[in-house]
Amino acid sequence: MKSNNETLTPVEIEQLINESLSHYVTDNFPQGVLAVCQQLTITQDHNKAKKPKKITINLVMPFVCQGELDLLAQTLTQSLVCPVSINVELAIKPVRQFTLNKTQNGTEQASPAQGKIANIIAIASGKGGVGKSTTTVNLAYALMAEGASVGILDADIYGPSIPSMLGIKNEKPSSSDGKLMTPLNAKGLSAMSIGFLVDEADATVWRGPMASTAFNQLLNETDWPELDYLLIDMPPGTGDIQLTLAQKVPVAAAVIVTTPQDIALIDAVKGIAMFDKVKVPVLGIVENMSYHLCENCGHKSHIFGEAGGEHMAQDYQTHLLGQLPLDIGIRQDADFGESDIIENSTGEIANHYRKIARNMSAQLFLQCDNASPLTATVIVKP
Ligand SMILES: Nc1ncnc2c1ncn2[C@@H]1O[C@H](COP(=O)(O)OP(=O)(O)OP(=O)(O)O)[C@@H](O)[C@H]1O
């Protein structure tokens, strides 16, 4: 195949693009892009000399991947010597079908949440304080930056920190019909928290049944908009409360956040076992505070140990979805109710979170969707 657009015909360009998409093999595209793409459209703009001056590739995809395919577009731009852009349109489907809720009089009724939320993902940790809430917030914004519609449900009854991390600590949800609560909007993210409804001090002494009743209310009595993903910030630990929540809520899959420290890893293993018990697939592990880069000399130090998450992922046949640095910016953003991903969606920290969000979304599709991998319907526009 020729590689310079001066000598390539439009048909040859289409051929080259198709080959590149089908041969592009990565962890998230184990059989190439075309194996999972639901629709492909290639549009070529030509100048008067019939040479391409711009090529646009539109793809309909079942998981978030814009950031990864932007890099492929750069490679194509170089090989075709013409600006190539790839636009991803998302068609995210539920990976799991759920039975309907039983009402008090025994009739079955679909909850509002079930109709509107495609996939619920539980973000859990065995040990407290490993950065689960911080990671949940940033992954929610990262999924949004990749084009998905996202909600966040804070079920951490021991310390509902999501309202303050989103900068909406003193706000309260309203209701337009007196029945359903309207979730709060935090820079485009739909948010609901147990912290909006009860005092922090009251919730910490709750036992399983009370926590799960409140939790069900939060999920089902919230007027969620149409969402591709709802991330649930689970309470830390692997006791009865966590087990009940994992069973009560129609969770599609779970992600475990841990630090590389032995003590956190031991508890993270308990988290995997807990989700196994209730038959919720674990998509993988996020290793938080993996390393610290010295701001002065750039030296990388592994404060909490090295490669613990990687070994754990190997031992328990799951994926290491990504590693995040111990970073002052992450801590400051969490404290001030901001996120680097909104302010600077191409910054280094934002890119870490976006990559993990893409891995999580792809693993949900690849591991849990019966339709994986899909065959592409190719429509080529001249
Ligand atoms: N990668 C990171 N770099 C720097 N600070 C971080 C990072 N991740 C989290 N933190 C900070 O660590 C502290 C604990 O984080 P967070 O509240 O998210 O933990 P958690 O696991 O949700 O805790 P718990 O569930 O016990 O309430 C916070 O002060 C947060 O800002």
The per-residue DSSP string of 310-369 comes to HHHHHHTT--EEEE----HHHHHHHHHT--HHHH-TTSHHHHHHHHHHHHHHHHHHHHH-
Does residue 357 lie within any of the structural domains? no
- pLDDT digit string, tens, across residues 180-217: 899 999 999 999 998 887 766 665 666 666 777 777 88
Q: Are residues 182 and 322 in the same domain?
A: yes
Q: Are residues 142 and 109 in the same domain?
A: yes
- CATH number for the domain harbouring residue 138: 3.40.50.300
Does residue 351 lie within any of the structural domains? no
Q: Are residues 40 and 116 in the same domain?
A: no
215 touches 192 (CB < 8 A): no
Cα 314 to ligand 1 centroid, rounded to whole Å: 25
Protein residue closest via CA to atom 8 of ligand 1: 131
Q: Is the CB of 161 under 6 A from ligand 1?
A: yes
Backbone φ and ψ for 195, nearest 5 degrees, come out as -70, -20
Protein residue closest via CA to atom 12 of ligand 1: 131
> Number of folded domains in the chain?
2
Q: Which two tokens stand for residue 339?
A: 């996120």
- pLDDT digit string, tens, across residues 78-119: 999 999 999 999 999 998 776 555 555 555 545 556 578 999
Do the bridges between strand 189-193 and strand 117-124 make them parallel or antiparallel, or are there none, so unpaired? Answer: unpaired
Q: Is the CB of 329 under 6 A from ligand 1?
A: no
Would the annotation count 284 as a binding residue? no
Give the number of residues written for the chain: 382
Would the annotation count 128 as a binding residue? yes
- pLDDT digit string, tens, across residues 328-363: 889 888 888 887 777 667 788 999 999 999 999 999
- CATH number for the domain harbouring residue 33: 3.30.300
Q: Is the CB of 156 under 6 A from ligand 1?
A: yes
Q: How far apart are CA 219 and CA 74, in angstroms?
A: 41
Q: Which two tokens stand for residue 43?
A: 């549009």
For the chain, the helix, strand and coil percentages under 3-state DSSP, each to the nearest 5: 35, 20, 40
Does residue 366 lie within any of the structural domains? no
Protein residue closest via CA to atom 5 of ligand 1: 331
pLDDT reading at 68 higher than 90: yes
The residue type found at 174 is S
pLDDT average, residue stretch 163-178: 87
Of 153, 145, 156, which Cα lies nearest the Cα of 116? Answer: 153
Q: Tell me what pLDDT residue 201 has.
A: 63
Q: Which of 100-104, 140-144, 146-150 has the lowest mean pLDDT?
A: 100-104
pLDDT winner (highest mean) among 3-17, 218-232, 308-322, 351-365: 351-365
123 touches 132 (CB < 8 A): yes
Measured from the Cβ of residue 381, the count of other Cβ atoms closer than 10 Å reads 10
Q: Are residues 38 and 136 in the same domain?
A: no
Does residue 241 lie within any of the structural domains? yes
Q: Are residues 46 and 129 in the same domain?
A: no
368 touches 95 (CB < 8 A): yes
Of 341, 299, 366, which Cα lies nearest the Cα of 67? Answer: 341
Does residue 363 lie within any of the structural domains? no
Protein residue closest via CA to atom 15 of ligand 1: 131
Would the annotation count 251 as a binding residue? no
Counting from 1 in the atom list of ligand 1, the atom nearest the Cα of 324 is 1
Cα 73 to ligand 1 centroid, rounded to whole Å: 35
Does residue 277 lie within any of the structural domains? yes
Q: Tell me what pLDDT residue 144 has.
A: 96
Q: Are residues 65 and 84 in the same domain?
A: yes
Does residue 360 lie within any of the structural domains? no
Q: Which of 101-105, 263-267, 323-327, 374-378 has the lowest mean pLDDT?
A: 374-378
Q: Is the CB of 260 under 6 A from ligand 1?
A: no
Q: How far apart are CA 34 and CA 27, in angstroms?
A: 14
Backbone φ and ψ for 5, nearest 5 degrees, come out as -65, -15
Would the annotation count 129 as a binding residue? yes
Question: What does pTM read for this prediction?
Answer: 0.90
Preceding amide of 260 cis, omega within 30? no
Q: Given ligand 1 and candidates 331, 335, 348, 349, which is best to mutate, with the most ligand atoms within 8 Å of its CB?
A: 331
Q: Is the CB of 330 under 6 A from ligand 1?
A: yes
Q: Are residues 271 and 208 in the same domain?
A: yes
Q: Which two tokens stand for residue 250?
A: 């129609």
Q: Tell me what pLDDT residue 203 has.
A: 59
Q: How far apart are CA 335 and CA 351, in angstroms?
A: 20
Counting from 1 in the atom list of ligand 1, the atom nearest the Cα of 128 is 26
Cα 242 to ligand 1 centroid, rounded to whole Å: 19
Counting from 1 in the atom list of ligand 1, the atom nearest the Cα of 327 is 3
How far, CA to CA in Å, does 211 sit from each of 38, 245, 335?
A: 41, 8, 26
Domain that includes residue 304, residue range:
101-343
Q: Are residues 164 and 267 in the same domain?
A: yes
Q: Are residues 110 and 66 in the same domain?
A: no
Coil, strand, or helix at residue 149?
coil
Q: Which two tokens stand for residue 130?
A: 């490993």
Q: Tell me what pLDDT residue 375 has.
A: 38
Q: Are residues 376 and 332 in the same domain?
A: no
Would the annotation count 308 as a binding residue? no
Split at pLDDT 50, 70, 90, the class of 52 is confident
Does residue 271 lie within any of the structural domains? yes
